[in-house]
């Protein structure tokens, strides 16, 4: 018969199996603070990006087909035009001149100082016929617009789908202060993902 002798222990036994009840809440508090810090940082960064750099927008309508389709989602660059000029060919987003609550997206055809006209659907800039590979033949029309020299803050914009587009032929040149972004990148749907050209 085996017997066990119990020996007195001068020091209290210390178990490492379970954390001390006082340590656990401190770890939980620390983890919660770190999570809240990361969440707040993410919100601030997202706010700064959307406010000053890129903003997601949804295309409504088909006036920019085939480059942009109805309900596509894209990012617009709100930062670039603070440092770079607006160029011919840029696809820009602007407040609709006749109702600034609405936003339109069109292609810049002529910039300040340009002499622009449209004759039976053919665009002329500074007396030269404008080549427009972004406008498929089936989307062309035969509308005209009188010869106009753009002022220092004016841009002439047209939709790529000329047959159905409401653009500078209807509401005239767009003032610079109404243009707030450049269409940069389509991110949805994924099969149409890519840089806006």
Residues designated catalytic = 63, 106
3-class DSSP state for residue 100?
coil
Distance set, CA 10 to CA 4, 13, 26, 49, 156 (Å) = 19, 9, 31, 64, 93
Instruction: Label the pairing between strands 115-119 and 122-125.
Output: antiparallel
| Contact call for residues 158 and 123 (beta carbons, < 8 A) | yes
3-class DSSP state for residue 141?
coil
Instruction: Check whether the bond before 100 is cis (ω within 30° of 0).
Output: no
């Amino acid at each position: 018969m085996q017997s066990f002798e119990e020996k007195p222990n001068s020091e209290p036994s210390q178990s490492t199996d379970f954390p001390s009840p006082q340590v656990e809440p401190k770890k939980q508090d620390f983890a919660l603070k770190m999570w809240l810090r990361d969440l707040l940082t993410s919100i601030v960064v997202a706010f700064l990006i959307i406010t000053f750099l890129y903003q997601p927008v949804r295309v409504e309508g088909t006036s920019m087909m085939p480059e942009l389709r109805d309900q596509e989602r894209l990012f617009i660059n709100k930062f670039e035009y603070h440092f770079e000029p607006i160029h011919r060919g840029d696809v820009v987003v602007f407040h609709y001149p006749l109702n600034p609550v609405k936003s339109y997206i069109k292609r810049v055809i002529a910039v300040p100082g340009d002499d622009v006209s449209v004759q039976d659907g053919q665009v002329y800039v500074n007396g030269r016929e404008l080549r427009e590979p972004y406008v498929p033949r089936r989307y062309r029309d035969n509308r005209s617009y009188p010869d106009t020299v753009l002022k220092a803050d004016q841009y002439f914009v047209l939709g790529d789908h000329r047959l159905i587009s409401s653009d500078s032929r209807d509401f005239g040149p767009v003032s610079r202060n109404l243009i707030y972004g450049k269409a940069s990148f389509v991110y949805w749907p994924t099969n149409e993902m890519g840089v806006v050209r």
